[in-house]
Amino acid sequence: MVSAWLSGLGIALPPSAVQEDLWEGYFAQHYTGARRALAKRIFTNSGVRTRQAVVSPLLEDVSGWSTERRMRRYQVEAIPLGKAAVGRALADAGIAADELGLFAVCSCTGYATPGLDILLARDMGMSPSVQRLFIGHMGCYAALPGLGTVSDFVVARGKPALLLCAELTSLHLQPPGTRTDIQQIVSHALFADAAAACVVTPSASGGLGYAVTEVAAVTDTTTADHMTWEVTDAGFRMGLSPQVPAVLAAHVRKLVDDVLARRGLRVTDVDGWAIHPGGPKILDVVQEQLGLDDAALAASRGVLASYGNCSSPTVLLVLDALRRRKDPPRRIVMLAFGPGLTLYVTLLEGLTLGA
C-alpha cells in the first residue's frame, strides 16, 4: 500500500535584524504621540527577538509604495529564496527535481504570472510534465492543507511531490495613517519573511522519515471578519481581532482529540508539538487548552523569538526545529490557524512507530 512520507525539509531565510533595532531605527519614528507608547509596548511584548526581511525598513522604506511596485519586488526576491528552500528539501530527501510528479506553492504575499510554480520548475530542472498547483491567500495555515494535498497526490499517483511555502510580509509595511490602529501595530511587530519546502514520497527515504497519517480542519465562519488580508492600493493590509485567541480556545481541543482518536491516541501519546506561533497569546491559549507543559511549546516559542511569524512557512520552521533535536519526537501534531477562522491539524508518525 502506498503511503505519504515527509522525507525532506529545506529552509531559506533572508537577512535578520534585532527587534529592538527595528524599533529604534524605524518604527519609533513611524508612530507618533500616544501611538508610539502603545506601539512600544506591543513590540516589547511580541515574543520576537529577531526576524528577517527581504526589504528591511532600516535600509528601505516601502510603506509608501504602490501595490504594483511591491508585486514586482516580490518576484525579484521570492525566486532566489524559493530556489534555495526547494534545493535544500530535495537534497534532504535524496531525490532529483525531475523525479517530482507535483510541485505546489503556497503564498499569500505576492502574485504574478508566470508565478513561482512555473519559474522555479524551470530553474530547478523539473520535468515539463510535472503537475503544478498554486495555493494563494490562505494565510498562516496554508502549509497544512498544502501538505494534505501533496500527500493525497503521492498516495494516488505513487510519485514524489514537493510543497513550497514562501512569504514576503515585509513588502506590505503599511503607511503610518492618521488613526491608532492596533491591528497594524501588532502586524508590524510580529511578521517576517521566510521560505520552507518539504518533499513527500511514496516510501520512507531521506532525512526526515515521518508518515503523514491524518489531516483535518475546522472553520468557524461566524468569526470570518476576525482575521483578514485585504488587497489595497498600498499593499496588503492585515486585520487581526483581539478575539482570535478566544475562538481558538473554543475549538482546538476538540479538533485535536478527534484527530488523535482516529488513530486510537490521546494528547499524552504525542511527544512533538509544532504549533504555529501566531503570537504569544495564541500559544498560551493552545498550551492551556491542550494541557501541555512548557517543554511542549519550546520549539514554537523559540521560532517566534528567533524568526517571528512568517505566515505559512512558520509551522514548517517549528517542524525543522523539532527534527533537529538530539532525540527527535516520534509522533508530531502540527497545528496552524488563519482566516476563516480556520484551524488545521496534521499528524505525523515516525518510522519507529511502524506507521
CA distance 194 to 213: 26
Does 165 participate in catalysis according to the annotation?
Answer: no
pLDDT tens digits, one per residue of 79-112: 999 999 999 999 999 999 999 999 999 999 999 8
Residues ≥6 apart with Cβ < 8 Å to 76: none
Residue 352's pLDDT is 56
CB 52 within 8 A of CB 15: yes
CA-based R_g, the chain, Å: 19
CA distance 192 to 167: 8
Could you tell me the three cell numbers for 76? 525579484
Residue 182's pLDDT is 86
Residues in the chain: 355
Residue 205's pLDDT is 76
Q: Which is catalytic among the residues 106, 140, 198, 310?
A: 140
pLDDT tens digits, one per residue of 33-81: 888 999 999 999 999 999 999 999 999 999 999 999 999 999 999 999 9
List of domains in the chain: 5-201 (3.40.47.10), 210-353 (3.40.47.10)
Residue 2's pLDDT is 65
Could you tell me the three cell numbers for 71? 508585486
Long-range CB contacts (within 8 A, 24+) of 40-47: 42/182, 42/185, 42/186, 42/189, 43/19, 43/185, 43/189, 45/280, 46/19, 46/186, 46/189, 46/190, 46/279, 46/280, 47/277, 47/279, 47/280, 47/283, 47/301, 47/304, 47/305
Residue 11's pLDDT is 98
CA distance 126 to 27: 42
Q: Is the peptide bond before 341 cis (omega within 30 degrees of 0)?
A: yes
Helix ranges (DSSP H) in the chain: 19-22, 28-30, 34-44, 67-93, 116-123, 143-157, 182-190, 244-262, 280-290, 294-307, 314-323
- Which neighbouring-strand residues pair with 333? 273, 347
* Rounded mean pLDDT for each run of 10 residues along the chain, 355 residues in total: 88 98 96 88 97 97 97 97 98 97 98 95 98 95 98 97 98 78 91 98 84 97 94 93 94 98 97 97 97 98 98 98 95 96 97 52
Neighbours of 276 (CB within 10 A): 31
Residue 1's pLDDT is 54
Residue 354's pLDDT is 43
Helix, strand, coil abundance in the chain, percent, nearest 5: 45, 25, 30
